[in-house]
Amino acid sequence: MQDKRYGTLLDEQRNFFSTGTTLSIHFRIEQLKKLKAIIQNNESAIVAALRKDLHKSEMESVVTEIIIVTDEIDHIIKNLKKWSKPTKVPSPFPLCWPGKSEIHHEPYGSVLIIGPWNFPFMLIMSPLIGAICAGNCAIVKPSEIASHTQDMIVGLINNHFPSEYITAIKGGPQEVTRLLDEKFDYVFFTGGTQIGKIILEAAARHLTPVTLELGGKSPCIVDETANLDFAARRIVWGKLMNAGQVCLAPDYLYVHHSCKTALVEKLIAAVKKFYGDDPSKSSSYCKIINKRHFDRLTRLLKNGNILYGGSTSEPDLYIAPTLIDNVSWTDPVMQEEIFGPILPILTYDNLEDVIKTVNSHPKPLSLYLFTKNKHHEKNVLKHVSFGGGCINDCLLQIANYHLPFGGVGSSGLGAYHGKYSFETFSHRKSIFRKSPPIDLALEYPPYTRKKLVWLKRLLKLG
């Protein structure tokens, strides 16, 4: 059943799109500048909403939800004119002589952007700036679960942009289902793998192209050559940002057996240094988003053997940073994406076994390797497929807009950020321009043996 309201909204966006207003690069740049100003003028309200939803500190919110977006807007504004020029490419096939070939980027039309709750502001805004820079209209649907941020986004967007150009819709699965009954020109989804399948199926009914930014279990490997002090700090930072509710956080650790004890000591020291002896009192430590996820994570604490942490407080939705060992791949904690502050620690003797084990599971969104051994680095990069990652660090592949961000296999389809966002939200229209108008008789029937011989000679095949 189509929802009349969404159908009408989409018709209005189609009418606006057909006026050609969004084709102007000047218009797109003005809209990006406007969005940046709106974000900057409302920084404290955005920070307050994120504090309510996730207990994010001001610094974490400003860096990971706001600056990362405004910085990308600046980069896109600086480069948009260059990116949107037709790209000239060679025309090597003889039948194309004489002539020129080029790729034109054109907007799809109206795009639907669906966001998750963990970085509820950034993961709506970052795809939205991609949609704007490529000249699309957009409907955004933030996560209903981060309800304060959802209200904030809906207010900011709907008070400042006309709905026939960009609009924000409140709601959850029901609204998404109704929205997907409509024929959008592109769907950009960030969320879990299971819901990603539902989105892909719904989009397939209209043959609508999609990007799926999904999750999974991202391994972090520490070998016997790694600088353990540094690794421990980077892993704790990457695992405990947003209390582990980060799609690309290290999900579990694989450490060479010879350095497990030392690494565990250093991990504990890093947790204490960052969040104190009692992280529940730290203003830098986030809470779990809701009771459902709190209960899910509490159940996972029953797996294996707790080396550190393990305490919880339901009224505060608090789960302590927790290290566990003695887990097996059949335990629930190793069967699902953890998405919380629990870090299972597995040991290995031989890197080849780690590679085999990781490869026997769905392709992860990220992989992190701490090593000084170039051979180990090459081996992992060559033989394991994953969305993206770091050598001797965590998370930072997402912070560089020159790197495409996205998963592979079960962790996602497509990628974005910076120029890749412009590409993702644009159709590449291939144009061959014949000039001057010279005919090659070779092209035309009758297709004789002699013509074939000539063609092969031109192609250096005969």
Is 336 marked active-site? no
* φ, ψ (nearest 5 deg) of residue 289: -60, -40
Residue selected from 16, 184, 275, 339 as contacting ligand NAD according to rule CB under 6 A: 339
Whole-number Å distance between alpha carbons of 297 and 10: 39
Position 198 contacts ligand NAD (CB under 6 A): yes
List Cβ neighbours of 42 (8 Å cut-off, separation of 6 or more): 152, 156
Which residue of the set 247, 259, 286, 394 is catalytic? 247
Position 409 contacts ligand NAD (CB under 6 A): no
Position 271 contacts ligand NAD (CB under 6 A): no
Give the ranges where 134-220 is alpha helix by DSSP (H): 147-160, 173-181, 193-205
Q: Helix crossing, 122-133 with 68-84: angle to 10°?
A: 10
Length of the chain: 462
- How many Cα neighbours within 13 Å face the side chain of 231? 28
Stretch that binds ligand NAD, among 93-101, 114-122, 315-323, 425-433 (CB under 6 A): 114-122
Position 64 contacts ligand NAD (CB under 6 A): no
Question: Mask of contacts with ligand NAD, 363-392, x by CB under 6 A?
Answer: --x---------------------------
Whole-number Å distance between alpha carbons of 29 and 17: 16
In whole angstroms, the minimum distance from the beta carbon of 165 to ligand NAD comes to 21
Considering the complex, state which of residue 177 and residue 225 has its C-beta at the smaller distance from ligand NAD. Answer: 177
Residue selected from 69, 153, 247, 413 as contacting ligand NAD according to rule CB under 6 A: 247
Position 412 contacts ligand NAD (CB under 6 A): yes
Is 314 marked active-site? no
Q: What is the DSSP letter of 341?
A: S
Instruction: Give 324's strand partners.
Output: 306, 344
Stretch that binds ligand NAD, among 139-147, 219-227, 273-281, 418-426 (CB under 6 A): 139-147
Q: What is the DSSP letter of 78?
A: H
Residue selected from 7, 192, 209, 409 as contacting ligand NAD according to rule CB under 6 A: 192
Position 173 contacts ligand NAD (CB under 6 A): yes
Whole-number Å distance between alpha carbons of 424 and 135: 12
Going by their DSSP bridges, the two strands 312-313 and 318-319 should be labelled as antiparallel
In whole angstroms, the minimum distance from the beta carbon of 308 to ligand NAD comes to 24
* φ, ψ (nearest 5 deg) of residue 314: -65, -45
Q: Which of 200, 170, 180 is nearest to 112 (CA)?
A: 180
Residue selected from 182, 213, 223, 251 as contacting ligand NAD according to rule CB under 6 A: 213
Position 141 contacts ligand NAD (CB under 6 A): yes
Position 143 contacts ligand NAD (CB under 6 A): yes
Position 117 contacts ligand NAD (CB under 6 A): yes
Q: List strands edge to edge, sheet with 87-89.
A: 87-89, 99-107, 426-434
Considering the complex, state which of residue 35 and residue 365 has its C-beta at the smaller distance from ligand NAD. Answer: 365
Whole-number Å distance between alpha carbons of 391 and 264: 20
Stretch that binds ligand NAD, among 39-47, 82-90, 172-180, 227-235 (CB under 6 A): 172-180
Q: Which of 395, 418, 396, 416 is nearest to 407 (CA)?
A: 416
Going by their DSSP bridges, the two strands 426-434 and 312-313 should be labelled as unpaired
Considering the complex, state which of residue 70 and residue 190 has its C-beta at the smaller distance from ligand NAD. Answer: 190
Position 188 contacts ligand NAD (CB under 6 A): no
Position 114 contacts ligand NAD (CB under 6 A): yes
Which residue of the set 60, 213, 337, 423 is catalytic? 213
Q: What is the DSSP letter of 21?
A: G
Position 172 contacts ligand NAD (CB under 6 A): yes
Considering the complex, state which of residue 232 and residue 333 has its C-beta at the smaller distance from ligand NAD. Answer: 333
Q: What is the number of the residue whose Cβ is closest to ligand NAD?
A: 215
Whole-number Å distance between alpha carbons of 434 and 323: 65
Number of residues that bind ligand NAD (CB under 6 A): 28
Binding site for ligand NAD (CB under 6 A): 114-118, 123, 141, 143-145, 172-173, 176-177, 190-192, 195, 198, 213-215, 247, 337, 339, 365, 407, 412
Active site members: 213, 247
